[in-house]
C-alpha cells in the first residue's frame, strides 16, 4: 500500500504519509526496505533499538526510513510541498479552472 499512496490504513487514519526525501511516493524497493528493517527496530525487545534511533536521528526517522531515504510526514505537510491536495502543483486557493481552458 505504501508504494501506491504512501499510506497504510493506520497511516491514513492518523493523517500520515510516507514520502521519499524528494517528496514523492516511495517505490517498491524503498517500501520493502522500510518494512524489512521493522524487525531490526524491534530488537533487542519491544522496539528498543527503533526508539533509540528515532531519538538520535535528526528528523525522527526510524532505521527503516534512514535506509530507504524516506520520511513519515503529516498529510498537510505534503500538500503544501506539492501545491495542493490534488498534487497538481496549483494551490487550491488559486483554482485550476473548470476544464474549458481558462483558469479561474
Please report the pLDDT score of residue 16 as a whole number. 92
Return d(Cα 6, Cα 100) in angstroms, integer: 32
pLDDT at 87: 53
Q: Report pLDDT digits (tens) over 8-18.
A: 888 888 999 99
Low-confidence spans in the chain with pLDDT less than 70: 1, 77-104
Q: Which residues contact 50 (CB under 8 A, 6 or more apart)?
A: 40, 41, 42, 62, 63
| The predicted structure's pLDDT at residue 81 | 52
User: What is the domain partition of the chain in residue ranges?
Assistant: 2-88
Amino acid at each position: 500500500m505504501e508504494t501506491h499512496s504512501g499510506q497504510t490504513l493506520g497511516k491514513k487514519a492518523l493523517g500520515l504519509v510516507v514520502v521519499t526525501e524528494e517528496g514523492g511516493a516511495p517505490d517498491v524497493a524503498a517500501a520493502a526496505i522500510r518494512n524489512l528493517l521493522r524487525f531490526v527496530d524491534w530488537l533487542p525487545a519491544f522496539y528498543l533499538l527503533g526508539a533509540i534511533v528515532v531519538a538520535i536521528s535528526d528528523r525522527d526517522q526510524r532505521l527503516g526510513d534512514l535506509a530507504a531515504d524516506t520520511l513519515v510526514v503529516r498529510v498537510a505537510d505534503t500538500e503544501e510541498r506539492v501545491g495542493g491536495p490534488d498534487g497538481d502543483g496549483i494551490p487550491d486557493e488559486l483554482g485550476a479552472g473548470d476544464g474549458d481552458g481558462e483558469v479561474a
